[in-house]
Amino acid sequence: MNIANESWRSIWIEDGGNSIGVIDQTQLPHVFRTCSLSNCEEIVNAITKMVVRGAPLIGVAGAYGLMLALKDDPSDENLNRSFDYLNSARPTAVNLEWALNRILGKVKDIDPKDRAHAAQLEANLIAEEDVAICESIGDNGLNILKRLAKRKSISFPGEPLNVLTHCNAGWLATVDWGTALSPIYKAHRAGMNLHVWVDETRPRNQGASLTAFELGCEGIPHTVIADNAGGHLMQRRLVDLVLVGSDRTTRRGDVCNKIGTYLKALAARENNVPFYVALPFSTIDWSIEDGLAEIPIEIRSGKEVTHIQGRMDSHLNGSAINSIQLTPNGTEAFNPAFDVTPASLVSALITDRGVINPSSSELNNLLIKS
């Protein structure tokens, strides 16, 4: 994707594989800064501090983290320890464990001296596959957007298709293209008239900072709204569809995504607005059926709720990023980072392998075909 007419990916290999380059997402949209991560600890730190975030991207970062660990020490002991260390960095998205298992599968039975090289080849492959997968999600989702736009144009000719999205499921959350934003990029490039309502996504505001940044870079019309505004907009027919990503999807189609997604799904159902979830096949956790009972929900620091991060008005204090306290000193805050939307509220799952209904049988067919 483009930033100031330059093509970027969210992660890349540097120095022949001795370090990994990433965009520091904690500084966007105000400061564009890249970092070099040169060992497993730095990768874990980048994932926990959300320098890199988004389910597919943390999978790829984890794979490179295991590669860096094996460059330092390819022993069985370090392989197992680093796997667990990386896997504990964030608990909800299943891609992290999935990507680590792919590396483990390639290296565990080979001579330790060949492990780092084999890990590098596999991590590169996972990254390249992610780009292709996200592009396919875009193509599959584009067909849905085209159909909805055609239907809308009959009653409201000339009006844009209004998409509401939550959090950031764009190219910054993957290697390129994104999941929920990929069909939007494809639609924009195909000349479709669309407009995106961007939920700010408290507490960390990935919508206001990252999604707005991405859409701005691509020149896609968008408007940031307070999270609480979505239901109001749906009641007034200002949203044609909701399109979000997923950090973990169960084998019957329950979807776990950024906190607040569930409320949007409820409002969408009440107002007959279609609610679509875009996801790579790798975010399906086949070992889990009931998302509410079985998906571990990450609880993050209450400071993300009591404080807010942003740039001071430039006339007050230049461009530095500041943290501002919102609550009285000592106020307790609870910060679950994800919630589960039951399959019954999801209109369809847009995957790289096709669009399916969120049901055990359709998911199972997808698995059998793969």
Active site (catalytic) residues: 247
CB burial readout 141-171, b (16+ within 10 A) else e: bbebbbebbeebeeeeeeeebbbbbbbbbbb
CB 358 within 8 A of CB 366: no
We find the least distance from the C-beta atom of residue 77 to ligand MRU, in angstroms, to be: 30
Closest distance of CB 112 from ligand MRU, Å: 33
Q: Which is nearer to ligand MRU, 179 or 351 (CB)?
A: 179
Nearest approach in angstroms of CB 255 to ligand MRU is 10
Closest CA to 324 of 312, 311, 309: 309
Give me the least distance between CB of 53 and ligand MRU, in Å please. 3
Strands (E), the chain: 2-3, 6-7, 11-14, 19-23, 34-37, 161-165, 194-199, 222-225, 241-244, 248-250, 255-258, 275-279, 284-285, 307-311, 321-325, 338-341, 348-351, 354-356
With 0-12 / 13-18 / 19 or more C-beta atoms within 10 angstroms meaning exposed / middle / buried, residue 83 is buried
* Shorter beta-carbon distance to ligand MRU: residue 17 or 260: 260
Cβ proximity to ligand MRU: between 17 and 54 the closer is 54
State the nearest-atom distance from the C-beta of 293 to ligand MRU, in Å: 20
Closest residue to bound ligand MRU by CB: 245
Backbone φ, ψ for residue 198 (5° rounding)? -110, 110
3 state DSSP class of 156:
coil
* CA atoms of 173 and 204, how far apart (whole Å): 14
User: Rounded to the nearest whole angstrom, what is the least distance from the CB of residue 169 to ligand MRU in the complex?
Assistant: 4
How many residues are listed for the chain in this entry?
Answer: 370
Q: Closer to ligand MRU at the Cβ: 71 or 276?
A: 276
Please give the sequence-ordered ranges of beta strands (E in DSSP) within 169-258, or none if there are none.
194-199, 222-225, 241-244, 248-250, 255-258
In this complex, which beta carbon is closest to ligand MRU, that of residue 102 or of residue 258?
A: 258
Nearer to ligand MRU, 103 or 180 (CB): 180
Contacts with ligand MRU by CB under 6 A lie at 53-56, 93, 167, 169, 173-174, 179, 206, 245-247, 257-258, 337
Using CA atoms, how far apart are residues 69 and 296, in angstroms rounded to an integer?
26
Sign of the C-alpha dihedral computed for residues 96, 99, 104 and 105 taken in this order: positive
The answer, yes or no, to whether the previous bond of 29 is cis (omega within 30 of 0) is: yes
Whole-Å CA distances, 29 to 10, 20, 213? 14, 21, 6
Q: Which two tokens stand for residue 166?
A: 């939550």
Looking at the Cβ atoms of 140 and 179, the one nearer to ligand MRU is: 179
**Are the C-beta atoms of 217 and 208 separated by less than 8 Å?**
no
In the complex, least distance from residue 140 CB atom to ligand MRU, rounded to whole angstroms: 15
